[in-house]
Structure 1
Amino acid sequence: MNFEQINLHLDAYKEHDQIIDAAQFLIHSFGLEHENFGGFGFREELSPNSMLLTAEGELGKPQKVMIPKNLFDFDLSLVLNMIAHEMLHVRQKAPGQVIEDKNEREFQAYSEMLFHKIFPQIPEVTDFHKKFFGNKALEYYRRMGEGSALQQKYVEQKIEIEHLTNSLP
């Protein structure tokens, strides 16, 4: 299915106020499912021009991804990247593969939004959003602790992110 067809499906879901069904359709269409996914729920909308999604649940337990009702008022590439970010958190919090450190989880998720190594089917976002996501990744990298073992683990990815963000207009 191409982007045009996906947008037509999403428009039909939106027309019938089936936002959760639309989100389910996207994770199925883009192969984002995971056994630790506990479904979607609604969270408060921030504003007409910003959105926040979260993966909620105890580490090692199913995660519910909370989405705003206005999720599909935004650019589809951005929405897909935001959902993929949360679906990576679903995996990171799954039994047997829990990543305890929040900074590490966020660094990995923001890196994924830039390079799509885990979810190669997710489209790229605008340079503006790449720069934003890159800066967020670097912020979480800094929070890992100067010279820490965790920073050392991700030093090559950090350099890759810096090269990307510095090359953007």
Structure 2
Amino acid sequence: MIALSEIEKTIKGFAQLGLTIEAAHWLVKVYELEQENFSHFELTEKAEPSFILLTTNGVIGSKQLIKLPANAFEFPLFLMLNLLAHEMLHVKQKSEKCKVEDKNEREFQAYYENLFHKEFPLIPELSTFQQKAFGNKAIEYYNRMKEGSDVQKKYAKQKEEVEKLLVKLTIM
């Protein structure tokens, strides 16, 4: 693995040259986020510090594209890496092999991944503040699933893990 200082330096270089898409491709490779169902990146308007949005677009079962803000790499690298991993998990979820149809299930899985990095173990941990925010989003999507449904039961243990992490983070 490349040293974090070198990764940050490389990303800053890409950003200074306006090579956001190239930076994203490079990070996908370095952090082993590749998915065969991924098509390409597309840029959107610049993001504001209070609202950074990446989206995965495409019909389930077909190739997916990820839209990211033109200034994506002006934000903290660990946050952007986690957001890229979140979207790459959506790419996988929308593949022919995985096909996770329910949006609430997809989002719960992706926020869970941002907290525990089981699918993408090279992704660094978020700040405590961001972990709390992502943990609360995971619980929000869990609660949007039909109460007592099979899908809620399927993720009950993971929900408990998220709740325990949120308690731990609150104590810190």
Alignment match, 1:164: 165
Q: Do the aligned residues in 2 keep the contact of 1:85 with 1:113 (CA within 8 Å)?
A: yes
Structure 2 counterpart SS, 1:64: strand
Aligned to 1:101: 102
Deviations 1:145-169 (A, max 9, x none): 1111110000000001000011113
Residue aligning to 1:112? 113
Q: Secondary structure at the match of 2:42?
A: strand
Q: Deviation per CA, 1:80-127, whole angstroms, max 9, x where unpaired?
A: 000000000000001121100000000000000000001110000111
Residue 70 (structure 1) aligns with:
71
The alignment status of 1:13 with 2:14, answered yes or no, reads: yes
Q: Give the aligned partner of residue 139 of structure 1.
A: 140
Do 1:45 and 1:52's aligned partners in 2 also have CA atoms closer than 8 Å? Answer: no
Greater CA drift, 107-116 or 41-50: 41-50
What runs of 5+ residues in structure 2 fail to find an aligned partner?
Answer: none
**Inter-partner Cα distance in structure 1 for 2:73 and 2:134:** 20
| 1:19-98 matches, cutoff 5 A | 19-98=20-99
Considering only aligned residues, what root-mean-square deviation do their CA atoms show, in Å?
0.9
Query: C-alpha separation between the residues in 2 aligned to 1:141 and 1:54?
Result: 20
In the TM superposition, what whole-angstrom CA distance separates every residue of 1:11-32 from its partner, at most 9, and x where no partner exists?
Answer: 1111211110000000011000
* TM-score, normalised via structure 2 length: 0.95
Question: Once structures 1 and 2 are overlaid, which stretch shifts more, 117-126 or 43-52?
Answer: 43-52
Deviation at 1:44, TM superposition (A): 2.5
Amino acid corresponding to residue 160 of structure 2 in structure 1: I
Query: Aligned pairs, how many?
Result: 169
Is the contact made by 2:38 and 2:63 (CA closer than 8 Å) also made in structure 1? yes
Letter in 2 for 1:63: Q
Aligned-pair CA distance for 1:48: 3.8
Question: 2: CA distance between counterparts of 1:105 and 1:19?
Answer: 26
TM-score by length of 1: 0.97
Q: What SS does the aligned partner of 1:67 have?
A: strand
**Divergent runs of 4+, >6 A:** none
Distance 2:118 2:76 in 1: 21
Q: Which amino acid aligns with 1:60?
A: G
SS at match of 2:122: coil
Q: C-alpha offsets along residues 126-158 of structure 1, whole Å, 9 cap, x if unaligned?
A: 111001000000000001111111100000000
| Amino acid across the alignment from 2:21 | I
Do the aligned partners of 1:113 and 1:133 also contact (CA within 8 Å) in 2?
A: yes
**Aligned residue in 2 for 1:148:** 149
